[in-house]
Structure 1
Amino acid sequence: MSDPVRAAIAVVLRGHEVLLVRRRNPPDAGLWGYPGGRVEPGESSEQAALRELREETGVRARARARLGCLEIAGEGHRYCLDVVLCSYRSGVPGAADDVDAVRWCGCDAVISGRFPASRDVDRICLRAVAFH
């Protein structure tokens, strides 16, 4: 099997809320998750997470820490997602690029699984809150 595609996700905290997007495209179409996408050549994971965050939501943040890498594999795709914890700076969230909705969600609701979400969204939120 080929090497995984490097990607990064932005876990943006604002108080007791986290920013989630609902994906428009497969493999996670219709599910809530974190803004993110591929790491471009010459870009760090932190830079990619912040760029994807702006492109998908219009929100600006500051990268604080890497929380690890999440391996995602399925039919026709394999990713290594660097999880980047971010602090909200500015912007009103709006859906753009490859998402059809964006919203601030209570961390408790995310951790308890009240959203139809991509794999490990709840676990990542719990880790971000504990680190924060």
Structure 2
Amino acid sequence: MSARYGEIPLRCRAVAAALIAGSGNEAGLLVLRRVGPVAGGAWGIVTGSIEPGETAPQAIRREIREETGLEIGRLYTSGLTESFYFGPDNVIELMPIFVAFVQERREITLDHGSDDFRWCGRDEALTLLHFAGQRRAILDIWHDFVDRGPDPFREVV
């Protein structure tokens, strides 16, 4: 990090995922309502921190399991990142956004970070999501992954 005046460093220490159940007109996006002092009450997609030694795909698989109790199969990069300014550290945070699928809308097991969940169609999700970056991402994700289906080259291991 440079000490020059006016620079705002970039940092990536978290990941996000659009978790989609079903396909076509029956597809639903999982949204979670957060609890706690940071963004409490806000609806968002699955997010979480990257732990030491983890890759971003490893981190989001773990976060999906921890936050929902669901195991996913294939994981895809959306090619998108959510970005926002984090004032306490004077950094711009970047979060790669992944896409994962489950066969059908299921009950999930919430962890301590959320107190409610919904499986939503695209329009309802866009109404509920509090974060502008997530709303913009869902439009592209819906087009690329629900309307068209995932391109094989986007799969990550």
Same-fold call, TM cutoff 0.5: yes
Return the TM-score normalized by structure 1. Answer: 0.84
For 1:86, the equivalent position in structure 2 comes to 100
- Indicate whether 1:104 and 2:115 are aligned: no
Q: Which has the higher helix share?
A: 2
- 2:44 equivalent among 30, 33, 57: 33
AA matched with 1:6? R
List runs of 5+ in structure 1 lacking aligned partners. none
Q: Is the 8 A contact 2:129 2:135 kept in 1?
A: no
Please state how far the C-alpha of 1:115 moved relative to its aligned partner.
1.3
**How far has the Cα of 1:42 moved from its partner?**
2.0
Of 51-60 and 83-92, more deviation after overlay is shown by 83-92
- Residue in 2 that maps onto 1:7: 14
- The CA RMSD measured in Å over matched residues stands at 2.1
TM superposition shift of 1:86:
1.0
Q: Which moved more, 1:115-124 or 1:28-37?
A: 115-124
User: Percent identity over the alignment?
Assistant: 25
Structure ranking higher in strand proportion? 1
Shift of the alpha carbon at 1:118? 2.3
| Structure 2 residues not aligned, in runs of 5+ | 1-7, 146-157
Query: What stretches of structure 1 move > 3 A for 4+ residues in a row?
Result: none
Q: Which amino acid aligns with 1:18?
A: L
1:74 aligns with 2:81: no
Distance 2:54 2:103 in 1: 21
Q: 1:74-128 deviations in whole A, cap 9, x for unaligned? A: 33254221100111258631321311112211112223xx215223222111111
Tell me the alpha carbon deviations over residues 3-31 of structure 1, each in whole angstroms, 9 at most, x when there is no partner: 52421011111132101111112432111
What per-residue deviation string (whole Å, max 9, x for no partner) do you get for residues 48-81 of structure 1? 1111111111122231224322222233254221
For normalisation by structure 2, the TM-score amounts to 0.72
1:131 aligns with 2:144: yes
Aligned length: 130
